């Protein structure tokens, strides 16, 4: 089965289920609410239908001792365990569904821009001709996919059209999606995972030029990690821009995580003091905000080297991630930034922000082609939920669902 069909099978049912849910909600308004409450409030507890009164609590305490070994009780426990794991599965599925929706919503502009052009192309031609190929090439280049990727892709597509004698553009839709993403999917299966330090505090450095979304991304990630039960410290080492440290401080209060920062001091010394604090106070993760002054490459390189030296001296294994933040709306400019930063320091992953603000959507492929660093997170909006772990399948679905 091709990628196109696989992804369609995976996610299309969510849309259908949602329609079903809507119909259900219309017919019975109160029931679904109660169900949700039960799953949320009592995931660990035994699920009982009875109201909780002091007597029933006492009764329950006594019951297990008397009847522990009877087959009925064993059956009951089995039934409850089954229910519990069903709820857990349901929760997980709900989370997955929510995530797919965030992708869909965040990629609306791209769907209406570049993907609708693809759909129009299929409607315009009733036969695959040289003009069709030329127009397709232009659409893909305009979508920030990157010229070399597009050229390779066009060669492969032309070969397939020839060898499989395809004439109908309608049939090509599926092949286009498959061929565009197959390389990415084949090579990118595991590497979008964030590395954490198992033996010591996990330090994650965020780098990138002005205004790309470093500070906002740190806030979003801190919120995510906090929800996962991790103790997070934000460290404001962007001591260059006035107000930057205070901005991070405000975010730390909003999110409810720890903070360390000092306006006007040397970034490496702020990182030093921040990590010492993290170790003293048993933090799990340290998120370091830096100033990205690409205008002065030598200085920036020295500054990052100094910070890494400090981290290496304090933390077993050094920083576990150095994430480069790129703004998706800057297109090829973002690619140049990635290439420049790659020369300066060792980048372990990319955060691609503001994907909701571009109609081009193909920049993920260009990053893969010209930089070869995995995209680990994407920003699809300004709320805290709009930062998502990058998942190529959800991304493809969010882009191409209208063709599916
Ligand atoms: N629509 C949208 N806006 C975003 C996203 N991520 C960040 N922003 C916005 O981008 C703007 C800049 O974000 P910051 O986090 O301040 O960027 P920065 O890289 O820390 O900037 P400097 O500290 O000046 O270097 C803010 O208005 C954010 O709300 C995103 O995924 N989508
Ligand atoms: Mg900032």
253-303 per-position pLDDT tens digit: 999 999 999 988 899 999 999 999 999 999 999 999 998 777 788 888 899
Q: Is 397 exposed, middle or buried (0-12, 13-18, 19+ CB in 10 A)?
A: buried
As given in the structure block, the two tokens for residue 253 are 């209060």
Give 309 Cα–ligand 1 centroid separation in angstroms: 28
pLDDT of 232 reads 98
How many angstroms is it from 265 CA to the middle of ligand 2?
16
The pLDDT value recorded for residue 53 is 38
Both tokens of 36, joined, read: 């949700």
Residues 6+ away with beta carbon under 8 Å from 209:
292, 293, 294, 337
CA of 241 to the centre of ligand 2 (A): 8
Radius of gyration (C-alpha) of the chain in whole angstroms: 26
Q: Which atom of ligand 1 is nearest to the CA of 238?
A: 23
pLDDT < 70: residue spans in the chain:
17-69, 83-88, 183, 185-191
Which atom from ligand 1 is nearest to the alpha carbon of 209?
A: 25
The pTM score is 0.81
Tokens read off for 45? 């507890």
Indicate the DSSP class of residue 114: I
Q: Whose CA is nearest to atom 17 of ligand 1?
A: 213
Q: Please, are residues 201 and 285 in contact by the beta-carbon 8 Å criterion?
A: yes
Q: Is the CB of 354 under 6 A from ligand 1?
A: yes
pLDDT of residue 186: 61
What pLDDT shows up at residue 296? 82
pLDDT reported for residue 2: 78
What pLDDT is recorded for position 69? 55
Distance CA 140, CA 217 (A): 29
- Answer yes or no: is the C-beta of 327 below 6 A from any ligand 1 atom: no
Confidence at residue 21, expressed as pLDDT on a 0 to 100 scale = 60
Taking the centre of ligand 2 as the mean of its atom positions, its distance from the CA of residue 364, in whole angstroms, is 23
CA dist., res. 352 & res. 334, Å (int): 9
3-state secondary structure (DSSP) of residue 112 = helix
Residue ID of nearest Cα to ligand 1 atom 29: 382
Ligand 1 centre and the CA of 217: distance in Å?
8
Q: Is the CB of 358 under 6 A from ligand 1?
A: no
Residue 240 CA from chain centroid, whole number? 29
Q: Is 214 in the pocket of ligand 1 (CB under 6 A)?
A: yes
Which bound ligand lies closest to the C-alpha atom of 327? Answer: 1
Q: How much distance in Å is there from the Cα of 28 to the middle of ligand 1?
A: 43
The answer, yes or no, to whether any atom of ligand 1 lies below 6 A from the CB of 329, is: no
- Ligand number nearest to the C-alpha of 212: 1
Cβ–Cβ < 8 Å for 253, 305: no
The residue to mutate among 103, 106, 109, 211, having the most atoms of ligand 1 within 8 angstroms of its beta carbon, is 211
**Ligand positioned closest to the Cα atom of 291:** 1
For ligand 1, mutation pick of 105, 216, 379 (most atoms within 8 Å of CB): 216
d(CA 316, CA 302): 22
Distance of CA 341 to the CA centre of its chain: 22
Reading the block at residue 391, the tokens are 């998942």
**Using CA atoms, how far apart are residues 182 and 1, in angstroms rounded to an integer?**
12
Token couple for 62: 């006594």
What does the pLDDT read at residue 157? 93
Query: Using a 6 Å cutoff on CB, does residue 220 contact ligand 1?
Result: no
Q: Which two tokens stand for residue 319?
A: 């920083």
The pLDDT assigned to 231 comes to 97
- Ligand 1 pocket residue status of 92, Cβ below 6 Å: no
What separation in Å is there between the alpha carbon of 298 and the centre of ligand 2? 21
Spatial distance between the Cα atoms of 296 and 207, rounded to a whole number of angstroms: 14
* Closest Cα to atom 10 of ligand 1: 213
Distance 391 CA to ligand 2 centre (A): 26
The closest of 312, 352, 381 to 105, measured between CA atoms, is 381
Helix 31-41 × helix 71-106 angle, to 10°: 110
Ligand 2 centroid to residue 21 C-alpha, Å = 41
Ligand 1 and 356: CB distance under 6 A? yes
Measured from the Cα of 381, ligand 1's closest atom is: 32
């Amino acid at each position: 089965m091709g990628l196109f069909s696989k992804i369609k099978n995976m996610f299309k049912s969510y849309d259908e289920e949602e329609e079903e849910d809507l119909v259900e909600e219309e017919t019975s308004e109160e029931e679904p609410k109660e169900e949700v409450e039960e799953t949320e409030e009592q995931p660990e507890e035994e699920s009982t239908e009875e109201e909780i009164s002091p007597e029933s609590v006492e009764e329950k305490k006594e019951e297990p001792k008397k009847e522990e070994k009877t087959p009925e009780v064993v059956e009951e426990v089995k039934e409850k365990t089954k229910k519990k794991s069903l709820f857990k599965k349901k929760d997980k599925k709900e989370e997955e569904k929510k995530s797919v929706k965030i992708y869909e919503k965040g990629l609306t502009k791209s769907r209406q821009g570049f993907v609708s052009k693809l759909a129009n192309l299929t409607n315009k031609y009733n036969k695959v001709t040289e003009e069709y190929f030329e127009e397709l090439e232009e659409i893909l280049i305009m979508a920030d996919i990157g010229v070399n990727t597009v050229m390779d892709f066009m060669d492969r597509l032309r070969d397939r059209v020839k060898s499989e004698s395809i004439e109908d553009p309608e049939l090509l839709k599926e092949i286009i999606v498959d061929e565009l993403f197959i390389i990415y999917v084949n090579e990118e299966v595991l590497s979008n995972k964030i590395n954490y330090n198992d033996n010591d505090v996990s330090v994650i450095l965020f780098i990138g030029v002005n205004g790309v979304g470093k500070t906002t991304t740190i806030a979003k990630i801190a919120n995510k990690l906090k929800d996962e039960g991790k103790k997070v410290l934000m460290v404001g080492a962007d001591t260059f821009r006035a107000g930057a440290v205070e901005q991070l401080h405000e975010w730390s209060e909003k999110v409810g995580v720890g903070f360390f920062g000092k306006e006007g001091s040397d970034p490496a010394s702020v990182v030093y003091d921040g990590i010492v604090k993290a170790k003293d106070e048993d933090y799990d993760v340290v998120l370091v905000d830096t100033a990205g002054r690409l205008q002065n490459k030598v200085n920036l390189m020295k500054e990052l080297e100094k910070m890494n030296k400090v981290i290496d001296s304090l933390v077993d294994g050094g920083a576990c991630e150095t994430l480069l933040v790129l703004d998706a709306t800057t297109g090829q400019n973002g690619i140049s930034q990635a290439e420049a930063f790659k020369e300066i320091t060792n980048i372990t992953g990319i955060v691609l922000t503001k994907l909701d603000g571009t109609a081009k959507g193909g920049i993920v492929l260009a990053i893969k082609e010209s930089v070869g660093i995995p995209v680990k997170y994407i920003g699809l909006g300004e709320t805290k939920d709009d930062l998502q772990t990058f998942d190529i399948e959800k991304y493809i679905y969010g882009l191409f669902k209208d063709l599916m």
